[in-house]
Amino acid sequence: MTFPEFFAENWTDVLDHTVAHAVLVLQSLGLAVLIGVPVSVLTYRTGAPRAAVLGVAGLLLTIPSYALFGLLITPLGLGSAPSVVALTLYALLPVVRNTIVGLRELDPAVIESAHAMGMGRMRVLVTIELPLAWPVLLTGLRVATQLLLGIAAIAAAVNGPGLGNLILDGLATAGTPFAVYLTIEGVAGIVLLAVLFDALYAIVNRFTTPGRLGA
């Protein structure tokens, strides 16, 4: 059986796994943003708390992924839950770091002007600071997405969803011709998603950063 014949037979499986993979990554990214951005906003002006947040987020990234997924089985069981949690933890560093850097890099004169115009603290944050930090934040999301697309393949090891299942099946049936086909399908799916997401980010960036186009 050639690869095209094999693919023709199981392409629906590949498609399902690809969609599940993308959903898993997006869920984790969403959670990382929901946690990471508020934490960054609360700590970016401070000294020690900011350093602590960045330190913890950095530390999380150094835990070997296989180990982290495994460790989470105890509290969370198998399946989606440990997968989403583990990926969220990995996404935190790029999200938090870029949010903090983006907010701290802003021209203090612009922020002071906003206050001097009579904007309240919250309004300055939402209408001035975050929009201005957005390009840097977006870069953080882009990095986090690429990172998660790769690591998400490990989710299959804890019965999680995604293209990792194809790769894992391939490894389990090593020696048979199908093993290679399955692995290729898994890897190709991840690469395809990476390219798609990157294009998407480029488009989002292009259309959400006014005033920088003329720069």
Partner 1 sequence: MPDVTRGTPEGGAADRTMIRLDALTKRYPGQSEAAVDALTLDIPAGHIVTFVGPSGCGKTTTMKLINRLIEPTSGRVHLDGRDVTEVPAPQLRRRIGYTIQQGGLFPHRTVADNIATVPRLLGWDRRRVGERVDELLHLVGLDPKTYRRRYPKQLSGGQQQRVGVARALGGDPQVMLMDEPFGAIDPLNREALQNEFLRIQAAVRKTIVFVTHDMDEAIKMGDRIAIFGDNGRVLQYDTPERILADPAEGFVTEFIGSGASVRRLSLTRLESVVLPDWPTVEETSDGETLRAAARGSDRDYLLVLGDGRRPVGWLPVTGEDRRPGERLPLLSPLGPRDSLFDALDHMLTVNASAAAVVDGDGRYRGVVEMDTLRELINTRAAGAPSSSDHLQEA
Which residues make up the interface to partner 1 (CB under 8 A)? Answer: 107, 109-110, 112-120, 128, 131-132, 209-215
CB closer to partner 1, 135 vs 150: 135
Q: Which two three-digit tokens encode residue 62? A: 């150094």
Smallest distance, partner 1 to C-beta of residue 30, A: 24
Give the whole-angstrom CA distance, residue 136 versus residue 60. Answer: 21
Q: Are 83 and 158 in contact (CB under 8 A)?
A: yes
Smallest distance, partner 1 to C-beta of residue 37, A: 18
CB closer to partner 1, 127 vs 176: 127
Give the whole-angstrom CA distance, residue 90 versus residue 145. Answer: 10
Q: How far is CA 198 from CA 102, 139, 187, in A?
A: 20, 10, 17
Smallest distance, partner 1 to C-beta of residue 122, A: 11
CB closer to partner 1, 118 vs 175: 118
User: CA 186 from chain center: how many Å?
Assistant: 19
CB closer to partner 1, 128 vs 190: 128
Give the whole-angstrom CA distance, residue 96 versus residue 49. Answer: 13
Give the whole-angstrom CA distance, residue 180 versus residue 174. Answer: 8
Give the whole-angstrom CA distance, residue 49 versus residue 85. Answer: 23
Smallest distance, partner 1 to C-beta of residue 176, A: 57
CB closer to partner 1, 115 vs 196: 115
Smallest distance, partner 1 to C-beta of residue 119, A: 7
